[in-house]
Chain A
Amino acid sequence: MIDITQEIIGSSLRIATPLALAALGELVTEKSGVLNLGIEGIMYGSAFVGIATAAQTGSLSAGLFAGFITGAVAGLIFAFATVTLGVNQHVAGLGLTLFMISFCNTANRIIFTSDGGQVRVDPWQPFNFGGPIFSQYWMTYATFLIAVPFTWWLLWRSGLGLKIRAVGENPEAADVAGIGVAKTRYTAIIIGSLLMAAGGAFITLAFVGTFTINIINGRGWVALALVIFGRWKIGRLLAGAALFSVVNAGQLQLRLLPSFSDVPFEILLALPFLAVIIGLAVSGRNVPYPGAYLKPYKRL
């Protein structure tokens, strides 16, 4: 029983890593009043460009760096569209996601799969400090020991965080107070995109070491839901990620128990999503959206 519990916790941390990174990125972005639906596409782009670069250069670190560059460029395009041009954020975000996925699939075919191949690298291996819980990839340790505290500090303790929250709640007042609304939103969107890119790169460079089409398979959307589940608070966001991941790891173990052998597997696979939806329904009402959510800012 202890063994299984440890396995489930260890597996949950792995499952939660890309979700937590992407959700932290979305949190930083949304705190500035911008909804980035490019999240799925940014993860996808970073996952592909990351492994493609790693395969060409033979260096996983170069791959991760390329993934970050991809995230930054995508974030910059999105910021230009939504902040500078004031384009509808839903359209710009979904457009970015569709573009990134199609672009990567096409590039994947041209570079790797046209002759029946598949891109592959030797991925990062887990560091084992004893037991299944502490046998994790370095990016998982970095997520929970560095990215989480950093994001908390950034948003709630740093000067930049104060500006981000100010332009997200009331850009007019922030502008009057001398805070550059556009500059702050650009910064928030790019920091957020870098975190999302890290989530995507984790999947190809650490966890699977390969790329297939549909590699992200909706994990960006799950991260998006976790931000709302978390009511824009890091603690609750992580609780949501933990709930989803633990139920996910748990259902995989349940499926293997002879007593659950005849339960339709679709029900088990749906459990993590159900858990988050029920959690949202119970605690997610009257969500306090950032004041300037979805509103482009223009000086009158």
Chain B
Amino acid sequence: MKKSRIGKAFAALALAGFVLTACGGNTGSDETKGSSDVLSVVAAYSSAIEEPWDGVIHEALQEMADAGEITYKYIDKVGYASGAFERALRQIAEEDKPAIIMGDSFGNEESARKVALDYPDIAFVMGSGGGPAEPNFSVFDNWIHEPAYVSGILAGSLTKTNIIGIVGGIPVPEVNRIVNAFIAGAQSVNPKVEAKINFINSWFDPTAAKEAALSQISAGADILFAERAGVIEAAAEKGLLSFGNQMDQKATAPESVVTSNVWNMRPTIKYILAQVKAGSYTSQDLKDFSMVAKGGATLAEINTGVTGGIPADVVAKATAALDAIKSGALRVDINEGVPAGSVTK
């Protein structure tokens, strides 16, 4: 009798575990500093802040909050279940009443846009594959195909086997345009380059990514581009060069990582803050603020300390290309098509 009661209690506990997990979502918050010129930003992320794309936004906001420029709260892992994102946004709008709501609305476009219409006094600034919507829904995205093109120039110049391996997560436009620009950059300096591309169909699976990278190495690849985690590890194990993505990944393997295509959200956020403070905020596509010209996309410092070093003329070529992009003289094509498994010129 007693045992079965404990059993029931345990089952109830397990059930509570289910419910808790289903609710998901961790919140992190900063104490409100209470000053009136400090704007409040609340972010709602569909995915986790550990996912590099969301991580870039979170890191920038957190840093600005730590510096006292904004107050910042977030909720992540909201997920894609019907109504979940809409509920999260409405709760933020009703309870926190922030000046700005940020986040990523991929997979939740309809809910995000619907809520924005109901709260015209709040600036909705969302990572999105769609366009802006009047009156208050602005969009941004990681437009780092330009540094990816320059990384490609370095890779195309450094490869000895003329085979370059690329491992990506899921072939969505945000990934495809980076991968395609990387290949285009490599082939612009070395038309013999053959790119081998694997997708792991997941945002997180370093094991699968590393295995795919090792298979590319066995097929002759001597340079790897790590769109996802796990790839730099394979290059480092085999003593090869690699390229990082989204953040500067030099620390992962300083002897292997040549450079990284870095997305920087600060220009976008600073612009939005200025607009909201001035009372002149309107909905718009913030793409330009995530590109090289305005500092939203950068190439991490080229690491000449990698195994074998990097010849000065190769560095010069890459720097020249980056300068040309900055000045507007070089325009990198945006190709969002899914790359095939092996791409030659």
Q: Complex: how many Å from CA A4 to CA B217?
A: 12
Q: What class of interface size applies to chain A in its complex with B?
A: 35 or more
- Given known A116-B59, A252-B198, A258-B342, contact A212–B18 (CB-CB < 8 A): no
B204 near A215: Cβ-Cβ < 8 Å: yes
Please state if A86 and B206 are interface contacts (CB–CB under 8 Å).
no
Q: In the complex the two chains form, what is the Cα distance from A261 to B212 in whole Å? A: 15
Please judge, given known A-B contacts A210-B233, A214-B204, A214-B205, whether A7 and B210 are in contact too, CB under 8 Å: no
Question: How many angstroms between the C-alpha atoms of A209 and B252 in the bound complex?
Answer: 10
In the bound complex, do residue A207 and residue B204 qualify as a contact, i.e. CB atoms below 8 Å apart?
Answer: no
Per-position contact with B for A146-185: 1 when CB-CB < 8 Å, else 0? 0000000000000000000000000000000000000000
Indicate if B189 sits at the interface (CB-CB under 8 A): no
Least CB distance, B93 to chain A, in whole angstroms? 25
Set A11, A203, A212, A258: member contacting B204, Cβ < 8 A: A212
Mask of A55-91 contacts with B, CB within 8 angstroms, 1/0? 0000000000000000000000000010011111001
Residue among B13, B58, B215 making CB contact with A252, cutoff 8 Å: B215
- Is A283 part of the binding interface, using a Cβ–Cβ cutoff of 8 Å? no
Do B204 and A253 touch (CB < 8 A)? no
Whether A42 is near chain B, meaning CB under 8 Å from some CB there, is: no
Main secondary structure of the interface of A (DSSP, over half): helix
- Please, how many angstroms separate the alpha-carbon atoms of A4 and B251 in the complex? 33
Q: Cβ of A261: which chain B residues have Cβ within 8 Å of it?
A: 340-343
A215 in complex: contacting residue of B14, B21, B207, CB < 8 Å: B207
Q: Note all chain A residues with C-beta closer than 8 A to B344.
A: 258
List, in ascending order, chain B residues with CB within 8 A of A249's CB. Answer: 211, 215
Within the assembled complex, what's the spacing in Å between the Cα atoms of A167 and B167? 48
State how many angstroms separate the Cβ of A77 from the closest Cβ of chain B: 10
Alpha-carbon separation in the docked complex, A210 to B230 (Å): 8
Chain A residue at minimal CB-CB distance from B249: A118
Task: Evaluate contact between B7 and A86: CB separation under 8 angstroms.
Answer: yes
A284 to chain B, nearest CB (A): 26
Q: Give the contacting residue for B26; candidates A109, A212, A217; CB below 8 A.
A: A109
The residues of A that contact B341 with a CB separation of less than 8 Å are 255-258, 260-263, 265
State which of B6, B7, B17 has its C-beta within 8 Å of the C-beta of A95: B17
Output the nearest chain A residue to B204 by Cβ-Cβ distance.
A214
Contact B211 A11 (CB under 8 A): yes
Tell me the A residues contacting B by CB distance below 8 Å: 3-4, 7, 11, 14-15, 81, 84-88, 91-92, 94-95, 98-99, 101-102, 105-106, 108-109, 113-114, 116, 118, 120, 123, 125-126, 132, 203, 207-210, 212-215, 217, 219, 248-249, 252-253, 255-258, 260-263, 265-266, 269
If A81-B14, A255-B198, A266-B201 are given as contacts, then 16 extra A-B residue pairs at C-beta distance below 8 Å, sorted by A number, are A7-B215, A94-B18, A109-B26, A120-B251, A123-B233, A208-B207, A210-B233, A213-B50, A214-B203, A214-B205, A252-B212, A253-B219, A256-B341, A257-B341, A258-B344, A261-B343
